[in-house]
Structure 1
Amino acid sequence: MNITATNRLNLLLANKQQSLLKDGLKGIEKESLRLSEQSFIAQTPHPKKLGAALTHPYITTDYSEALLEFITPPFADINKTLDFMQNIHQFVYDNLGNEHLLATSMPCGISGDESIPIAKYGNSNIGQMKYVYRKGLWHRYGRTMQAIAGIHFNYSVPETLWPVLHQLEGSEQTLAEFKSAGYFHLIRNFQRQGWIILYLFGASPAICKNFFKSRPELMAQFSEFDNGTLYHPYATSLRMSDIGYKSNNQANLNIDYNSLRGYVDSLSHAINTAYPEYEAIGVKIKGEYQQLNSNILQIENEFYSTVRPKQIIEPCEKPTLALKRRGVRYVEIRSLDLDLFNPIGIDAIRARFIEALLLSCLLHDSPEMDITDFKTHNTNQLTVAHQGRKPNVELIKDGQAIRLQDWANDILNNMQAVCDILDENEAEDYYNQALTEQRKLIANPDLTPSAQILAKMRAEKKPFAHFAEGVSRQHAQNFSAQKLNVTDTEKFIQMVLESHTKQQEIETHDTLSFDDFLSKYFSQK
Structure 2
Amino acid sequence: MFSKIGNLLFEKEAVARTSDFRMGLEIEMDRADETGHLSKEPYPDTIGDAHSNPWITEDFLIAMSEVVTPPADSPLDAMHYLYRINNALRNALAPGEILWPLSMPPIMPKNKTNDLITDATPEKREFLVNWVKLHHGMEKALPCGAHINLSIHNHVIKLIQSEMSDQFKTEQDVKDYLYMRLGQGFVRYRWIITYLFGASPIAEANYYDHDKGPDQPIRSLRQTNRYGYGAKFLVDYTSIDKYIASIHDAVKKKLLVRASEGQGPIRFRGGKDLDDLRNTGIQYLELRMLDLDPTSEIGIKTNTIRFIRVMASYFIMNPPLKQSTVNEALTEANRVNDEVASEHPNHFNHQVQARSFLRRLQLFVDQIQAGPEYDEVLQEMEMRVEHPELTPSAQLVKQIKNGSLVDYAVKTGMKYQQSALVALRPFDGFDTTKQPTSEELKKYLFRNSFKS
The TM tier, using the shorter chain, reads 0.7 to 0.9
Deviations 1:256-306 (A, max 9, x none): 2111122123323434x2x4xxxxxxxxxxxxxxxxxxx543333321521
1:406 aligns with 2:361: no
Do the aligned residues in 2 keep the contact of 1:360 with 1:415 (CA within 8 Å)? yes
Runs of 4+ in 1 over 6 A off after TM superposition: none
Change (3 A) 1:422 1:157: farther
Q: Which amino acid aligns with 2:145?
A: G
Deviations, residues 154-210 of structure 1 (Å, cap 9, x unaligned): 111111101222344441443312311221111112111111111111111122242
Structure 2 counterparts to residues 370-381 of structure 1, below 5 A: 371-381=327-337
> Residues of 1 paired with 2:109 and 2:131: CA distance?
18
**SS of match in other structure, 1:152:** strand
8 Å contact 1:91–1:484 — kept in the other structure? no
Note if 1:446 corresponds to 2:402. Answer: no
Q: Distance in 2 between matches of 1:422 and 1:41?
A: 47
**1:481 maps onto 2:425 in alignment:** no
Match of 1:326 in 2: 280
Deviations 1:32-67 (A, max 9, x none): 111134432122332221121221111111101110
* 1:270 alignment counterpart: 250
Partner of 1:366: 321
Change in 2 beyond 3 A, CA 1:31/1:387: same
| 1-structure distance, mates of 2:352, 2:425 | 46
1:49 to 46, 50, 60: 46
Aligned match of 1:203: 199
Q: Give distance in 1, aligned partners of 2:221 and 2:67.
A: 23
Q: Alpha carbons of 1:422 and 1:152: their partners in 2 closer, same or farther (altered >3 Å)?
A: farther
Opposite residue 185 of structure 1, the aligned amino acid is R
Q: Return the alpha-carbon distance in structure 2 between the equivalents of residues 423 and 370 of structure 1.
A: 30
* Compared CA separation, residues 371 and 349, structure 1 to 2 (3 A): closer
Does the 8 A contact of 2:22 with 2:150 survive in 1? yes
Distance in 1, Cα, partners of 2:168 & 2:88: 50
Q: Secondary structure at the match of 1:493?
A: coil
Q: Counterpart in 2 of 1:471?
A: 412
Is 1:68 the counterpart of 2:69 in the alignment?
A: no
Question: Which of the residues 259, 278, 301 maps onto 1:300?
Answer: 259
Q: Which amino acid aligns with 1:366?
A: L
- Residue 126 (structure 2) aligned to one of 132, 156, 168: 132
Letter in 2 for 1:414: R
Matched position secondary structure for 2:154: coil
**TM-score computed with the length of structure 1 as normaliser:** 0.76
Letter in 2 for 1:301: S
Q: Which residue of 1 aligns with 2:447?
A: none
- Paired residue for 2:187? 191
Larger radius of gyration: 1
The 1:499/1:391 distance shift into structure 2, 3 A limit, reads: closer
The gaps in structure 1 that reach 5 residues or longer are 122-126, 224-230, 276-294, 394-403, 501-525
Please say if residues 7 and 317 of structure 2, whose CA atoms lie closer than 8 Å, have aligned partners that are also in contact.
no
CA contact (8 A) 2:60 2:128 kept: yes
Shift of 1:71: 0.4
> Hey, what's the Cα distance between the residues in 2 that align with 1:67 and 1:116?
13
Residue 387 and residue 245 in structure 1: after superposition, are their counterparts in 2 closer, same or farther (change >3 A)?
A: closer
Amino acid at match of 1:33: D
- 1:160 & 1:77 partners in 2: Cα distance? 14
Does 2:35 align with 1:35? no
Letter aligned with residue 177 of structure 2: A
Do 1:116 and 1:143's aligned partners in 2 also have CA atoms closer than 8 Å? no
| Conservation of the 8 A alpha-carbon contact between 1:103 and 1:340 | yes
1:72 shift after superposition? 0.7
Inter-partner Cα distance in structure 1 for 2:364 and 2:300? 22
Q: CA 1:423 to 1:322, structure 2 compared with 1: closer, same or farther past 3 Å?
A: farther
Partner of 1:79: 76
Q: Which residue of 2 aligns with 1:10?
A: 7
By how many angstroms is 1:309 displaced? 1.0
1:156-175 mapped onto 2 (5 Å cutoff): 156-169=151-164, 170-175=166-171
**Structure 1 residue 136: deviation in Å?**
1.2
Is residue 455 from structure 1 mapped to residue 398 from structure 2 by the alignment? Answer: yes
CA RMSD of aligned residues (A): 2.6
Shift of 1:388: 6.7
Answer whether contact 2:28 2:65 (CA < 8 A) is retained. yes
1:91 aligns with 2:46: no
Is contact 1:30–1:151 with CA below 8 Å preserved after alignment? yes
Instruction: Tell me by how many angstroms 1:18 deviates.
Output: 2.1
Note the alpha carbon deviations across 1:319-354, whole angstroms, 9 max, x for none: 213312211111111111111111111111111111
Q: Is the 8 A contact 2:127 2:257 kept in 1?
A: yes
Supply the AA of the counterpart residue of 1:100: I
One-letter amino acid matched to 1:72: T
- 2:236 corresponds in structure 1 to 256
Alpha-carbon offset, residue 434 of structure 1: 1.5
Determine which of 342, 347, 361 is the counterpart of 1:415: 361
The structure-2 alpha-carbon separation of the partners of 1:189 and 1:147, relative to structure 1 and needing over 3 Å to count, comes to same
Structure 2 distance, partners of 1:417, 1:388, is 30
Deviations 1:202-228 (A, max 9, x none): 11112224212x22x343x423xxxxx
CA contact (8 A) 2:202 2:404 kept: no
- The aligned residue for residue 117 of structure 1 is 116
Matched residue SS, 1:328: coil
Paired residues of 2:19 and 2:312 also in contact (CA < 8 A): no
Counterpart contact for 1:156–1:330, Cα < 8 Å: yes
Letter in 1 for 2:243: Y
TM-score (norm: length of structure 2): 0.87
Residues 1:352 and 2:275 are matched in the alignment: no
Name structure 2 gaps, 5 residues minimum.
437-452
> Residues 358 and 378 of structure 2 are in contact (CA less than 8 Å); yes or no, is this contact kept in structure 1?
yes
Distance 1:62 1:130 in 2: 10
Q: Partner of 1:339 in structure 2?
A: 293
**CA 1:197–1:128: 2 relative to 1, 3 Å:** same
Q: What is the percent sequence identity of the aligned residues?
A: 23
Q: Aligned partner of 2:201: which letter?
A: P
